[in-house]
Structure 1
Amino acid sequence: MKKTVILGVTGGIAAYKAAQLTSDLKKLDLDVHVIMTRNATEFVSPLTFETLSGHRVSVDTFDRNFEYHVQHVSLAKQADVFVIAPATANVIAKLAQGLADDMLTTTFLACSCTKIICPAMNTGMLENPTTQENLRLLKARGMRIVEADSGLLACGDVGKGRLAPLAVIEDEIEQALIKEKPLAGLKVLVTAGPTWEALDPVRYLTNHSSGKMGYAIAKAARNWGAKVTLVHGPTALPALRGVEDQPVTSAQSMAEAVFSRASESDLIIKAAAVADYTPVETASEKIKKTDGEFQLTLKRTQDILKAVGERKRDDQVLCGFAMETEQLLARARTKLASKHADLIVANDLRESGAGFGIDTNRVTVITASGEEMLPLMRKEDLAYELLKRCLAILKEKREK
């Protein structure tokens, strides 16, 4: 069953961004109902939100065009999350005092679901002690406040007051929609992305890993209540909110970061594509072109997965990844044994929908008890499936 999000849009210039937010939430297969204040309709037409959401937009508490029912109570009962973006100083003040003089504030007051407030206004209004006190009141009452961003404002001022990036708001909504926290109290260590092995100050050896799978696992673990550390090589992905972010560069620096945290972790999920080889020597100056052949001497990097597997306790779960272009299952099963892992996630680089840099994956999970082929799915969805299996193994270990 689809989750229901009520999106409140108030009368600020950032109201136009709420249209994109509505579209993004619909793409996440959420049922979105939009309520606008009368002032918000001066910035964006209700028709825009009706087209994007597929629902009639509520503005007037006494709109006679709706079917007979108490509209604000009906919407309030449906909602899983109520988010107001943008939230003006005026509406924030009303919410803090429990005023209900239009459809938005009336429905908000009737709702018992998680509530998210995304302020957007002039810097002076935001920093006014009254506004700050109102935000503190709302936060103290259990509402989530997505802090405004800084930058050039519509009024021409530069400062804090811009609506938070939509990705941040969407992330807050996603967290709020997940009620169960099966990983609460657990520590999860995740690695992601490639490593860079320097040849000289200009060049390095690396691979095509984007880090998307590891980031998806870290995000899912955070959403499920775990305390998460993400150790990652260089990626273009934004840092995850609520996750300890540990950037590294080389295989050696990744090994050091993992070893320093492995003993305190309950789940260790090694999704990074760590270089197997690194130059024996790194030139201190840029290597110049020559007319003849150039030979590069490499040495093996430390096998992080194997080292962690040899040291792990009986009450820890270790998950590794295997990407191959041939003999996938045989090599993954060999890896499971040789690395002392509890499960290996195997995928074929050449298979459609799997591999580096894309948003989907198709994997086979290898454990001591067998093999399980999972269907093609988004990496975000696969992350939860893998965490389910890691948690099941952890529970089994701790019940022995």
Structure 2
Amino acid sequence: RTVTGTGARRAVEVSSESVQFGSVDTGERVVRTVEVVNTGGLPVNVTGVSATGAAFTVVSEPPARLVAGASTTVRVAAAPTTGGEVTGQLIVDSADATATTVDLTATGLAPAATRADERPVSFGAVPAGSGRSRTVVVANRGSATLRLGAVTTTGPFQPADDTRRLLAPGERTTYSVVYAPDPGAAGTDATGTVRVPTPNDPDRTAVTAELTGTATAGRAAVTPTTLSVGRLPVGETGTGTVTVESVGDGTVDVRGVGITGPDADRVTVDGPTTATLPPGERATYTVTVDAAARGPVTARVVVQTADGPVTATVGAVGVAPTATLSTAPESVGPTRLGERRTERLQLSNTGNAPLNVTGARASGSAFAVVSAPETVPAGERRAGRRGVRAGGDGRGRRGDDRR
């Protein structure tokens, strides 16, 4: 008799002929699972599982032996290191069957860190003891999120913010760097670098920039150099202002303020005793003069700075009138009863302020002030008239003119 039949066979099949990983950020890993099945009637000895293409690796392998009808899984990972499409294959080898392959495809998304301006960053001339900031702009021109690490600097430069950041594709971010030379660094040049780490950029480990600056000395100017508070009535006060400005390339370091001069006890100054003035900035002082007596008041406001003192001369005049009347006896001579005779008197102002005459009168019933000036300017004199009218006893009585 004839016996016919089909012999048992060994066959390995996979759940899919290709695996798409989609978009994968560089530095990241995406894992997919592939099912491996022994579709034959006999056991299969798996001799190896491998992946081609630098972006792909096998994470887990199947057991070495698959019985008939059994299945297992293989895990494969895609981790692109560059942007763009990457391809490879998963290969399952067995001693008893033809090798089975699976096509692998992924698209690498890579950040691309760059500076918006690749030139060195110059701070220029910076006053010693002050500070100036400049910015470094980092952009992501790639297709994946860019991770930015903590900023570091070298030299006498400091980052204003060293926080880690994430930068989406097409975005940019700004870092501020400060150059603040010490007060004793005037006249020196500074160099350094700023470094922003880019740990997931496949092409560069960090964005860097060269930093340069020069520390300069400050110079102060006082305005006005001569402050005239003007003419002040005795017993009153007057005020004025003095301004100290940083007019050079460097900071003015104010370390004190005071008053000197012959009338220093009659002048006070109010303002910052210490201050740091970057170029173009000012400190304002209010100067008060007390006109305690008639005559000039002279003093100096002295502002001490790190570069030496700057001074402003303060002047004022205490003013007050001083009235004097002619002291020689004035006789109007014989005067008939009922008649009136007048005589001129001189009122002099020997003071340094106008003399305002508010009134004049004469004592003695036979005498009267006929006229008196209203104002006598300082250093001048004006005439007044007094008159006498003979009384009933036939005698005129001498009286005094009084203001």
TM-score, normalization: structure 1? 0.22
Flag the structure with higher helix content.
Answer: 1
Flag the structure with higher strand content.
Answer: 2
Q: Highest CA radius of gyration, 1 or 2?
A: 2
